[in-house]
Amino acid sequence: MINIFTRATLLHWQSTKHASKPLQSVVARTLHKVDLESVFSDNNKIHVQSKLDTARPLIRPLANPKGPKSEAAVLVPMCYIGQEPSILFMMRSRDLNSHSGEICFPGGMKDSTDRDLVHTALRETHEEIGLSEEHVDVWGRLPPSRARAGSQVTPVLGFCGNYEDKPWKINDKEVQEIFTRSIASLCDSDNIRTTQFRYENTGYTMPVFFGSSAKHRVWGLTAVILHQVLSTIAPGIYNFKVKHKR
């Protein structure tokens, strides 16, 4: 004879077993939570890799039967500062003709010699801040976002270990500085605001991430990618919701 608790558990298992894949996906996302101690763990890495394809960006690429206008990739470097899980950013050189002084992730346009977009992100990262490929554990690619100029930008997740023991070498022709923000501070709702834009007769909302320094404010496409990354790697820690997407 099955007691009430066991029968209920069995019925739940049977219904879950025969549920459609979309329902199972919703259940998995609801059940999976991480904390700051486990955000870079092997278990979370496996979970993140299982849902990379479904981590939809806030700004989706336009459908183009001829393919994207141009392709670019950025590395999102995940690292530890001491024992604190963090993400590395860079500020573009103030001497550049375009986007000078803006906060971004290392990366750039795909070259004809690049094997793929992961290689693009790693090559550009090495050129800009001196971090070589062997120091990066690539978790995978997220779906691309659309930049203002129409190019398609693919984020690549990469774990870099401890920040302090890496041979950083900043290319001062392109990079003003590099800095890190803890995942705890990035996920703190007190540090997040929104900004609204209008584009081709539609409105949309984007997050803006503030920190202790105004010059390190994260906004624009970098904030769009950061929102996508935090939603993917830190469910349960990052709970910010964007109401209007495009």
pLDDT digits (tens, 9 = 90+) for 178-233: 999 999 999 999 999 998 876 666 667 889 999 888 899 999 999 999 999 999 99
What are the domain boundaries of the chain?
Answer: 1-31, 33-233
Mean pLDDT of the chain: 84
Higher pLDDT, 22 or 38: 38
Tens of pLDDT, residues 48-58: 999 998 888 77
215 beta partners? none
Q: Are 146 and 153 in contact (CB under 8 A)?
A: yes
Query: Under 8 Å CB-to-CB from 34, ≥6 apart: which residues?
Result: 41, 44, 233, 234, 235, 236, 237
Domain 33-233 sits in which CATH superfamily? Nucleoside Triphosphate Pyrophosphohydrolase (3.90.79.10)
Nearest to 145 by CA among 49, 222, 216: 222
Q: Are 136 and 74 in contact (CB under 8 A)?
A: no
| Most confident listed range (29-33, 41-45, 150-154) | 41-45
Query: Under 8 Å CB-to-CB from 234, ≥6 apart: which residues?
Result: 34, 39, 183, 187
Percent of the residues in the chain that have a pLDDT greater than 70, as a whole number: 79
Tokens of 125: 């990262």
Name the pTM for this structure. Answer: 0.83
**Predicted pLDDT at 47:** 96
Q: How far is CA 80 from CA 37, 114, 165, in A?
A: 11, 29, 10
Tell me how far apart the alpha carbons of residues 224 and 134 are, in angstroms, rounded to a whole number.
28
Higher pLDDT, 98 or 50: 50
Strands 71-81 and 152-162, how do they pair?
A: parallel
Predicted confidence (pLDDT) at residue 29 exceeds the cutoff of 50: no
